[in-house]
Amino acid sequence: MLGLKRNAVKLQDHSPEWDKIASQNIKNLWEVFCTAAVDIQHVGSTSIRHIKAKPDMLIAVGVKSMDIVDEIIPRLRDIGIVQMENRQDSSTVLCAFAAEIESGVHTLYVHIVPHGSKVWNENINFRDYMNASPQSAAEYESLKISLAKQFPDDRRAYKNGKLAFFKKVHQDIGSFYAQATDGISYKLKEPFDFSFLSKYGRVFKVFDDQDSGNICFGMANGADKCFVKFAGAPTARANVPPQEAVERMKQTAQIYMDLAHPNLTGLISTEEIGGGFACVFEWMDAECFGMQYPQSREKFLQLGNETRLQVFDDILAFHSHVAQQGYVAIDFYDGCIMYDFANNKTIICDVEFYAKAPYVNDMGRMWGSSRFMSPEEFQLGAAIDEVTNVYAMGATAFELFGSNHDRSFEKWMLNKALFDIATKAVSLERGNRQQSVQQFIDEWQAERAGE
């Protein structure tokens, strides 16, 4: 429901109805502005999916010239919208419903600005960036919640409290390009032609926060869905050039075939397409545990210990299988863990860097999240083997049942014996760890059986 007193700061959960209301408002405004407008867009927090917002909508009208404002104002008045009090910035005009100005409760603001101006571009770019970056959007939402608690009746102070965040985001936006396919936004370093995706259906979801150089799409073709992982585009957070990402993706197919397992995403096909390389996987209605997806992570963290223990058992079983197949896990972290809440199933994804044993660290600082990385993964020439993977399993235990930033017993949710097993696994001394994933499993399960 829309409507908020002018100076009040009160947030509501995002509503899908807001997009419908915005579409109707935009349609009405096009009838008023006609050719005087270049574009009309829903902006502001109500246009950012999945985050809380003040329930008053902002529509930006980009006009060819502000000279038309005097002509447009009477037409707006005919549909009940009038210009608000004069502001120091005469380069834009803010309007609202006359009845709402009188009552002091607003559902809609109309901001008339020159199309292509700094104000126009900042509004559009901020919205698109937030919708393309779930992590940034969640950070923005947290800031809004905090400020709303501090300034429930002072909108100016609430707005000023967001200025530093706006500045940071607009600096980041300068490094990224917001693009959309089938109405779904995502970030790139520069424009890229994804028209080839139509072969697989319509895009309904995008995962663009990986640093591997890959970008992933949820695709729907009627009732059928698939997951397309593509290398070759200038992805926003890539730390490798596109061609290197392509070469690595080409190696991916064999890895997924060798490691096929009930908990690993199933590979359907691979092909060279769109100037890059795509792997097509079975679609899983699962959500990622990784920190880059804070909303999904928070949902996962609401699961009870019994469910988390089952998830951990699945992760252990998969990595025992990895060892049996003669592989070592590289770059396993919480972003590789997904959970299907409807079917209570653990899914492992993103195993592109897993490699055949024996493997030697030829990089120094290897791929991965430092929260899950053993000392040898920072040491050039060190052996990377199953003992290394034991460390990752111990770190995963702390991620699921404690704190991977503070591996103290005070943060631990399970008993002391299980804590000791996990602590042994993350020993900095290789010789003090369990010497295989199976040994870790045996110790873990024996203790659980004795509880």
Residue 175 pLDDT level (bands cut at 50, 70, 90): low
Which pLDDT score is estimated for 221? 96
| CB burial string 359-372: b at 16+ within 10 A, e below | bebeeeebbbbeeb
The verdict on pTM exceeding 0.85 is no
Which pLDDT score is estimated for 90? 61
CATH code at 179-282 = 3.30.200.20
For residue 154, give both structure tokens.
Answer: 């002072």
Provide the mean pLDDT of the chain: 90
- What residue spans in the chain does CATH classification 1.10.510.10 cover? 287-450
User: DSSP string spanning 305-357?
Assistant: HHHHHHHHHHHHHHHHHHHHTTEE--S--GGGEEEETTTTEEEE---TT-EES
Which pLDDT score is estimated for 4? 84
Q: Is the dihedral of CA 157, 22, 293, 279 positive or negative?
A: negative
Q: Quick check: helix, strand or coil at residue 20?
A: helix
Which pLDDT score is estimated for 370? 86
Helix residue ranges, H only, 133-273: 134-150, 155-160, 163-173, 242-258
What average pLDDT does range 216-243 have in this prediction?
A: 91
Asked if 120 and 114 touch (Cβ cutoff 8 Å), the reply is yes
- What residue spans in the chain does CATH classification 3.30.200.20 cover? 179-282
CATH topology of domain 4-173: Beta Polymerase; domain 2 (3.30.460)
Read off the amino acid at residue 295: Q
What average pLDDT does range 182-204 have in this prediction?
A: 91
What average pLDDT does range 263-277 have in this prediction?
A: 95
Q: Of the given ranges (79-93, 214-228, 307-321), which has the lowest mean pLDDT?
A: 79-93
List, edge to edge, every strand of the sheet that includes 276-282: 202-207, 214-221, 224-231, 276-282, 267-273
- What residue spans in the chain does CATH classification 3.30.460.10 cover? 4-173
What average pLDDT does range 409-421 have in this prediction?
A: 96
User: DSSP string spanning 373-418?
Assistant: --GGGGSTT-EESHHHHHHHHHHHHHHHHS-SSS--GGG--S-HHH
For 418-450, the pLDDT digits (tens) are: 999 999 999 999 999 999 999 999 999 999 987
Q: Is 193 exposed, middle or buried (0-12, 13-18, 19+ CB in 10 A)?
A: exposed
What average pLDDT does range 389-413 have in this prediction?
A: 94
Q: Quick check: helix, strand or coil at residue 167?
A: helix
Which pLDDT score is estimated for 85? 64
Chain position carrying tokens 């002391």:
416
- Pairing between β-strand 57-63 and β-strand 108-114 as defined by DSSP bridges: parallel
Does domain 287-450 fall under CATH 3.30.70.640? My reply is no
Which pLDDT score is estimated for 86? 54
| CB burial string 253-279: b at 16+ within 10 A, e below | eebbeebebebbbebeebeebbebbbb
For 61-105, the pLDDT digits (tens) are: 999 889 888 899 999 988 888 888 655 456 788 888 877 777 888
For 113-169, the pLDDT digits (tens) are: 998 888 888 888 888 888 877 778 889 999 999 999 999 999 999 999 999 999 888
For 335, what's the count of Cα atoms within 13 Å in the CB-facing half-sphere? Answer: 20
Asked if 314 and 346 touch (Cβ cutoff 8 Å), the reply is yes
CA angle (293 as vertex; 300, 353 as ends), nearest 5? 100
Angle at which helices 134-150 and 118-132 pack, to 10 degrees? 110
Helix residue ranges, H only, 267-304: 294-300
Interacting residues of 177 by C-beta distance below 8 A, sequence separation 6+: 187, 188, 189, 190, 191
Q: Is the pLDDT of residue 172 over 80?
A: no
Share of the chain above pLDDT 90, in %: 60
Helix residue ranges, H only, 104-210: 118-132, 134-150, 155-160, 163-173
